[in-house]
Structure 1
Amino acid sequence: MGRSFGLGLRSQLMLALIVAFGAAFVLLSLVTARLDESESAEEQRTRAEGLAQALSAGAGAEGEGLREEAMGRMLSEGLFRRVEIHTAGGLSESWGVLEGKPDAVVTTVDGLELRVWVPASYRGEAARRSLFLFYLGLTASTVLLLSYVLLTYFIVRPIDRLRLASERLAANRLHTRVPVQGAAEVARLAATFNEMAAQLRDDRASLQQRLEELEQTTAELTTAQEQVIRSARLAAVGRLSAGVAHEIGNPLAAIRGLLDLMQLGDLNRDEEKEFVTRIQRETERIHHTIADLLDFSRDDSGSEPRIESSADLAEVVSDTVKLIDRQSRFRDIELALALEDGLSRVRGDHERLRQLLLNLLFNAADALGGKGRIEVHARDAAGVVELIVEDDGPGIDSEIIDQVFDPFVTTKAAGQGTGLGLAVCYTIVERLGGTIEASNRTQGGASFEVRLLAAR
């Protein structure tokens, strides 16, 4: 059931106007009545002058009885306050009480002068006009005052309360309420305002609750992320430790065994020479492993000039190709270059970029087993230069493709690789502000795409 709000605004305005005009009608009625009385007095005065003229016509001795009769009748009816008849010698006759100046003076043909006093309340047109203006002003003032009071109480004051409440609501005081009163429209507006304020309170409470839930969820996600990162670091440390133990422990075990055999003294000169050669080979293996570890873990925090420097990628590719051209592992491998003309210079120094490309080429050659095709592409893109190394070998095992850049991740046989080459590539590219991605080609083989920042 809908709430009732009383009379509507228009109804109240009509009622106020009816009351105002009713009061005006009453006051104007009083004015009209007084004016009617004034007009009656004027008529009486006119008749009195007429009678005075008639009396003056018979003011002689022969009309004395008639004059006495007329004077007595008019005085008894209150038409005159006083009447005087003057002759050449002065006052001849008088009726009534003397007060002020006469209101009418009539001279007869025989020289008599008739003076007449009428009641003071019936004098003059100016008095009637003043009275009319007074009542008219009073009526207008009453109408205005009544209209002001009614409009203030029923319209202005409720709307002003709504304005103040709106300002409080805008100042984030959501518990603001306004009285539901006044005209129907104003009361309905006040009720709607209260409902809106209540809805805002509910929405804010709901939003606050959701915000707290989001903060809690964010905190939980942050904690979980930290745990994942910590676990990933621990796993990486574990893999690194296992790799180091494997890549260094195996050669050390071999060296120790060879030294034990040499200490027995049962070896001839050729066997001792062979054992020394094998010890040197295992020592070189340990040396290369340590060198790769140093490349992987090198701190470039003090090498900002290297990052800010720039290099010609086409020149880097050319120098790298010359370096591997006479190596035995590339003897049966076809190397194809597709370099875009006018390549932009890239951020980074020449030596680090050559090491990056050299590691990618060595990785591709190892995957091909010494025979196949390697393609090197370089082209400009939006703000970067893309370097792509592809081969037509067996591709990357799907089980390790997501960890291919982790240290010591390799598919080579034991002793044939440290699994640090691609990890070093990833570190170089990351420190230069670029990206590197590994994928398998649809036609077979692996693809490594490096995106390096173009030098400004």
Structure 2
Amino acid sequence: MSERVADPFGRHAASRVRGLGLRAQITLALIAALGISVTLVAIAIDRLASRALEQERERAAQIAAEGAAAMIGRADAPEIAVDRVEHALMRPESVIGLAIVGDDGSVRSQRGEVGHGVIGEARLADGVVRVWVSSAIEGDGAGTALVRLVVLYAVITSLAMLVLCYALLTRLIVTPVEALTRASEQLAAGRGTARSPVQGAAEVQRLALSFNAMAEDLRRERAALVERLADLERATKELRATQDSLVRSEKLASVGRLAAGVAHEIGNPLAAILGLLELVRGGGLEPAEEAEFLRRIQHETERIHRIIRDLLDYSRAGADAPIGRADLGEVVASAVHLVAPQKDLRRITIEQRVPEELPRVRGEADALTQLVLNLLLNAADAIEGEGSITITIAEHDDQIALTVDDTGPGIAPEVRDRLFEPFVTTKPTGSGTGLGLAVCWTIVERVGGTISAEDAPSGGARFVVRLQRA
């Protein structure tokens, strides 16, 4: 039969339980044992009764033979005595044959069926008399009835013992086991108050006591687990609140660094512009000096414009614009062509290692050109003199890797972890905004790529950009 059994975690799963129940098994075992016992008793009684009847026939044959010998010994004429014996003893239900045998083995007289049934023998003066008694003498019916009565008594006694044993086993074993089973099912279903009554045989009582102790331990463990889960939930909420607070603090810190960087980068040229304007307004300057002051004012103004433009580029790089496809080889060639005429790169050799037939990558050509330009200018600023920059493009599975190596001093340890943050730079004040690499990171992130910095084998810096195939 199929029963639904609950697992230890409260879930219910259908499982098939095969076989008979404890009651049915005990009943079948008792019936089988008592049936075998009754059968053995009936066989034993039948054997004993048969043996008793056989002995009774032997005694009857011997008595008949002795009686015949006595009658023949008292008679004057043996032949007449034999006739009398035959008339007195031979009946269909008892003696069926009679013979007188001499000492020499000769048969003197013979009557009835000789050689059948049970034989009895008695001594004569000059021979023996032999009497044969039927195998079914009078009284066999009573013996058979007695056997049947004994067997019936044994069957009735066995049935009474069967009922008594069933009742005792049910009370001592079956009922307590069923109660223990129900309690275990309730406990498995999540009812912590489940208990098994302590009843039945001593072993079953000990089992019930052990189950109740286990159930009590399980209830305590479950309560402790619930309490620990509640503590964990409170701790999780506190941790989440702490994380939110840290995120807010980090955002505020980022905003603070951004504001400080903007104020610092724009404040210096503004202060210079104001000072120069005051000098121009004060008059008394030579035309050459006034032209120089105006040129410096224009230079500082362009510097402010460049800072604002870099900020705009940084903020716009993550805009939700469509992402196209670009030829990375053409992008590199265009960027190198743009920076080659600059004065700072005249003493720097730019080597391009770009294979032919490159697959296109995800991204807009203009944005990727700006990415390569920023990396080239960053490398040129790091070299500060003669040196070389190597641009390598290689395919790796479904990605295209762009590597820019320089022969500069490498990456300073103090800025390695914050290299792609805004306004992070190792250049002197007024020499850079610290937005170039931040813009690179934003461009690469938007197209689903990655950018990282490491030390180059030549001792300088290496920037690796990995872009996805289009």
Note whether the superposition's TM-score is higher than 0.5: yes
1:290 counterpart = 2:305: no
Q: Offset at 1:394?
A: 0.9
Letter in 2 for 1:229: V
Structure 1 residues 376 and 185: alpha-carbon distance in aligned structure 2, compared to 1, 3 A threshold: farther
Report the 3-state secondary structure (helix = DSSP H, G, I; strand = E; otherwise coil) of the residue aligned with 1:378.
Answer: strand
**Residue 360 of structure 1 corresponds to which residue in structure 2?**
375
Structure 2 CA distance for partners of 1:443 and 1:188, relative to 1, 3 Å: farther
Q: Do 1:24 and 1:139's aligned partners in 2 also have CA atoms closer than 8 Å? A: no
* Cross-structure match for 2:441: 426
> 1:166 and 1:343 mapped to 2: Cα distance?
70
Change (3 A) 1:264 1:369: same
Aligned partner of 1:351 among 349, 361, 366: 366
1:31-430 alignment to 2 at 5 Å?
A: 131-132=149-150, 134-298=152-316, 300-303=318-321, 308-339=323-354, 343-430=358-445
In the TM superposition, residue 132 of structure 1 has moved relative to its aligned partner by 4.8
* Deviation of the 1:327 alpha carbon: 2.2
Alpha-carbon distance change, 346 to 194 in structure 1, aligned in 2, over 3 angstroms: farther
CA–CA distance in structure 2, aligned partners of residues 310 and 199 of structure 1: 67
Supply the distance in 1 between the matched residues of 2:362 and 2:385 (Cα, whole angstroms).
Answer: 32
Further displaced range: 257-266 or 389-398: 257-266
Amino acid at match of 1:196: M
Counterpart amino acid of residue 180 in structure 2: L
SS of the residue aligned with 1:351? helix
How big is each residue's C-alpha offset from its partner over 1:361-416, in whole Å with a ceiling of 9 and x where there is no partner? 11110000142121222323354332222212111221122222221121212222
Task: Identify which range, 192-201 or 406-415, moves more after superposition.
Answer: 192-201
CA contact (8 A) 2:317 2:443 kept: no
CA positional deviation for 1:288: 0.5
Identical aligned pairs, as a percentage? 51
Tell me the CA shift for residue 179 of structure 1. Answer: 2.6
Q: CA deviation at 1:344?
A: 4.2
Q: CA deviation at 1:442?
A: 5.8
Counterpart residue type for residue 413 of structure 1? P
Give the match's secondary structure for 2:413.
Answer: coil
Q: Note the C-alpha offset of 1:420.
A: 0.8
1:252 CA drift (Å): 1.8
- Contact between 1:20 and 1:147, CA under 8 Å: does it hold in 2? no
Matched residue SS, 1:376: strand
Q: Render the CA deviation track for 1:32-58: whole Å, top value 9, x for unaligned.
A: xxxxxxxxxxxxxxxxxxxxxxxxxxx
Task: Determine if contact 2:317/2:439 at 8 Å carries over to the other structure.
Answer: no
Deviation by residue 1:16-73 (Cα, 9 ceiling, x = unmatched): x9999999999xxxxxxxxxxxxxxxxxxxxxxxxxxxxxxxxxxxxxxxxxxxxxxx
CA contact (8 A) 2:328 2:361 kept: yes
Distance 1:314 1:214 in 2: 55
Task: Call closer, same or farther: CA 1:138–1:341 in 2, change over 3 Å.
Answer: farther
Render the CA deviation track for 1:265-321: whole Å, top value 9, x for unaligned.
Answer: 323333333222222211111111100011112273432xxx643323223222222
Q: Distance in 1 between matches of 2:408 and 2:358?
A: 28
* Secondary structure in 1 matching 2:191: coil
Instruction: Tell me the CA shift for residue 191 of structure 1.
Output: 3.6
Aligned to 1:49: none
In the other structure, the counterpart of 2:455 is 440
- The answer as to whether partners of 1:438 and 1:449 remain within 8 angstroms in 2 is yes
1:186-228 CA-partner distances (Å, limit 9, x unpaired): 3444344334333433432343333233323322332222222
TM-score of the aligned structures, taking structure 1 as reference length: 0.67
State the SS of the aligned residue for 1:400: helix
Q: Secondary structure of 2:348's partner? A: strand
CA RMSD of aligned residues (A): 4.3
User: Which piece of structure 1 moves more, 355-364 or 241-250?
Assistant: 241-250
Aligned to 1:9: none
Flag structure 2 segments of 5+ consecutive residues without an equivalent.
1-28, 42-140
Instruction: Sort the Cα spacing of 1:379 and 1:209 in 2 relative to 1 into closer, same or farther, 3 A.
Output: farther
CA contact (8 A) 1:435 1:451 kept: yes
* CA distance 1:410–1:173, change in 2 (3 Å): same
Amino acid at match of 1:287: H
* 1:24–1:143 CA contact under 8 A, matched in 2: no
